Amino acid sequence: MAATSATNFSIGSTASAGSTVGPTQSKAFSIKLEPKSYLRNFSGLKAANSVRYESESSFLGSESSLILRRSYNTKALKHSQRSYSYIQPHASYKVAILGAGGGIGQPLALLVKMSPLVSALNLYDIANVKGVAADLSHCNTPAQVSDFTGASELANCLKGVNVVVIPAGVPRKPGMTRDDLFNINANIVKTLVEAVADNCPDAFIHVISNPVNSTVPIAAEVLKNKGVYDPKKLFGVTTLDVVRANTFVAQKKNLKLIDVDVPVVGGHAGITILPLLSKTNPSVAFTDEEVQELTVRIQNAGTEVVEAKAGAGSATLSMAYAAARFLGRNGVEAVISSELQGLTEFEQKALEALKPELKASIEKGVAFVQKQTVTA
């Protein structure tokens, strides 16, 4: 699903593209998502022309890499020659939020309901979400809201859905890493994606549940086992890292926030989050100290929120905002091979350093599904 905000991330396709790890010497490439018509403004949120997904093909399964390269190489070459017309978006998407009663799910549901692209919004949770649905139904926006509660209603929630967003799971608490969430959230994501595969196999799937570096590979493996895997339609929503990077850089450099776009590559945990400050738009100079400071803050921003909430929650409002920006029409449209070229020495070293950790997280997700399959 093409996005309407400038966002760079790797795990969305790293994991979405598969999960088996390819040759370690593979070329770097990125995936550029481009909708045919854009929202120039989404309920006051920043809207831009594209989303770039940066990745190393060594993290992708050969199957996914081949599909994406063959499908979109020509489009990538012709990209600079394209022209677009901007039209009023048509409300046509039916969206399901799985985990709609949670800290991310509720504000996300509000923001999605405000989108002119959405005609219907299904809310699902294990606990009752009738109250959330009733509250949202009072908002005078086009999307019709329906609520579904418990495992017995999951299939009905997913019937005819075009987009599935999964924030379900437990949040981080002080002292917890994203990896600490794995044993709980891995099962949740696996169960939900199995239901998606059975009931709306053509839907775009947006995974928010942490640890994203492992839950997206879980989703990919489940879809493969069900025979409905499409690497163009599975995303790890790491948009929050871009939102944070844009905010912190704008504050640091006294820039107009709406104009700032900082590419972020890698994954969505610790050192796997790599902001490419040298590619900040508009172009801006950073001292070595500023690069170090900003990089560390962006990487640890999630922990900053967890600690500030003192055990009462994690990044929910900012995550909902970031996820709501990730709306559009067509999925992955092009593979751009040049996006990881011209990095600074600091960025290149950081990229090499994150690979083993990201690779291990992906393999952990793959192994989880494989083990569950064997046991079954």
- Which amino acid would we find at residue 194? E
**Which residue matches tokens 């494989």?**
370
> Active-site residue 138, yes or no?
no
Q: Which of 79, 138, 206, 268 is catalytic?
A: 268
The catalytic residues are 268
